[in-house]
Amino acid sequence: MNNDLEFINYFWSINFSDKEKERFKKFLEVDYLKKKGFLEKEISNKTKTPKGTIEKWIRLKSVPYLVHYSQYSKNLRKPQKDYKWLAINSTRGGILKEPWIKVPEKINSYRDLIKVIKQLKSINNLKDFNKFNINFKSIEKMKPLLFAYLLGMFVGDTSKKEIKRKNRTTRRIQLRLSTRFKTNKMLGEFTKLCANNIGLRMNQGKNCPKGKRNTHDFYAWHSQSSLLIQWIFKVCLGLKNKEKTTYDPIKANWLIKAPKEFKIYFLQGLADSDGYIDITTHRAGIITGPNTKFIKELLKTININGEESYLHKGSLGQIKFRLEKAIELPLFSPHVKSYRYQLMEKIMKAKRLHHHWPAYLGKEVDNYLKEGFSSTKIMQKVLNNHNIIIRQGGINKRRNKIKMENRITCLGIESTAQ
């Protein structure tokens, strides 16, 4: 076994202390003396190492971590310049497990990413793809697109929990979605499909109970912990360990020049996570947080000029644009068909009233107004009841008319009292 520690640099984001390096060198010394025929007691005296440790090392019951990495390097060999070896799986004890892939330390272009994606093996079965209307023949073509969708979810709803190990940091994906919307189960399952498609195990667990501010429980999915997730977080999204996608902007300029379809799937992952439909203004939007400028620039590359605005005293960015553009993309995934996607389709396919409202509809809206419903709620009710989309301006006119009638009535009562 070679005493040269150059092999440590073959592996992505693996760190060893000086103490661990000295322990490895001691192991090599013990191995050398044993091969020379020295007894365990003699080796213990010569190396000043406890006899119990010598016995474990010789019988390979418990060896320094670097011994494993030395063996990995023999099997894998030195990677090319600017690339490192990364193991997707590992044991709880810290032993890295195949499959091994070669990853760049920095993503400069879409092509750099594709080289990695081509190495990743799916653990899905055909039934998983059929559920989302993905044809068997298109599975290989879909691989980068499903990665793009997962990347969008990374920036959005998913939690990327950091797990610090002795020599490395891994992460796991955690996703919680409200049971209020049944389509959220499909959203979670599609995210799972995307993770499984790059070799990551991810499964649905027990529902999480609702909190004090919530009215519904949460569906929950959890992935394995993996160095691959850490690599996506740090290299693909350009984030540091202590940074969070909620507060810190991603650094992924390579996305700007990625193929259009890849960008659309990324935006769909982000929109299925943090998107919305504003029925009152006929707009779709994404809560973009610290990434508002970047997402606006990304949208421009696919000919969408989004309107940038900020909520909560300028602390929370969002971008919105016309529903016609949103459905043309589409902004929300047609594989998932989330409640947002369904609402977008329903609005665009609904009847438009170009003249006065029919009497029955005016009366219905008046009743909703008297019950104190908001314009949004009234528009949703009319859409669901009659497949008609009405304008907020029409509701406001009727609201003002009712107010005026009430005022006249009050004035009439007052004049009678005098």
Same domain, 266 and 316: yes
Q: Are residues 270 and 406 in the same domain?
A: no
Q: Are residues 154 and 170 in the same domain?
A: yes
**Domain boundaries, position 29:** 6-78
Asked if 294 and 375 sit in the same domain, the reply is no
Residue 365 pLDDT: 96
Q: Which of 310, 345, 380 lies at the terminal end of a domain, its last residue?
A: 345
**Among 78, 106, 134, where does a domain finish?**
78
Residues of the chain short of pLDDT 50, as ranges, are 414-418
CATH number for the domain that contains residue 144 = 3.10.28.10
- Is residue 87 included in any domain, yes or no? no
Regarding whether 359 and 308 lie in a shared domain, the answer is no
3-state secondary structure the chain: CCCCCHHHHHECCCCCCHHHHHHHHHHHHHHHHHHCCCCHHHHHHHHCCCHHHHHHHHCCCCCCHHHHHHHHHHHHCCCCCCEEEEEEEECCCCCEEEEEEEEECCCCCHHHHHHHHCCCCCCCCHHHHHCCCCCHHHHHHHHHHHHHHHHHHHHCCCEEEEEECCCCEEEEEEEEEECCCCHHHHHHHHHHHHHHCCCCCEEECCCECCCCCCCCCEEEEEECCEHHHHHHHHHHCCCCCCCCCCCCCCCCHHHHHCCHHHHHHHHHHHHHHHEEEECCCCEEEEECHHHHHHHHHHHHCCCCCCEEEEECCCCEEEEEEEHHHHHHCCCCCCCCCCHHHHHHHHHHHCEECCCCCCHHHHHHHHHHHHCCCCHHHHHHHHHHHHCEECCHHHHHHHHHHHHHHHHHHHHHHHHHHC
Q: For residues 215 and 294, state if they share a domain.
A: yes
Identify whether residues 16 and 37 lie together within a single domain. Answer: yes
How confident is the model over 140-169, as pLDDT tens digits?
A: 899 999 999 999 999 997 888 888 888 899
Same structural domain, 339 and 378:
no
Overall domain count for the chain: 3
Do residues 162 and 234 share a domain? yes
Instruction: Please tell me whether residues 282 and 174 are part of one structural domain.
Output: yes
Task: Please give the pLDDT value at position 415.
Answer: 40
Position 413 scores a pLDDT of 54
Q: Are residues 245 and 270 in the same domain?
A: yes
pLDDT at position 91, please?
87
Residue 103 lies inside a defined structural domain of this protein: no
Full-model pTM: 0.92
Q: Establish if 152 belongs to a structural domain.
A: yes
Shared domain for 280 and 333, answered yes or no, is: yes
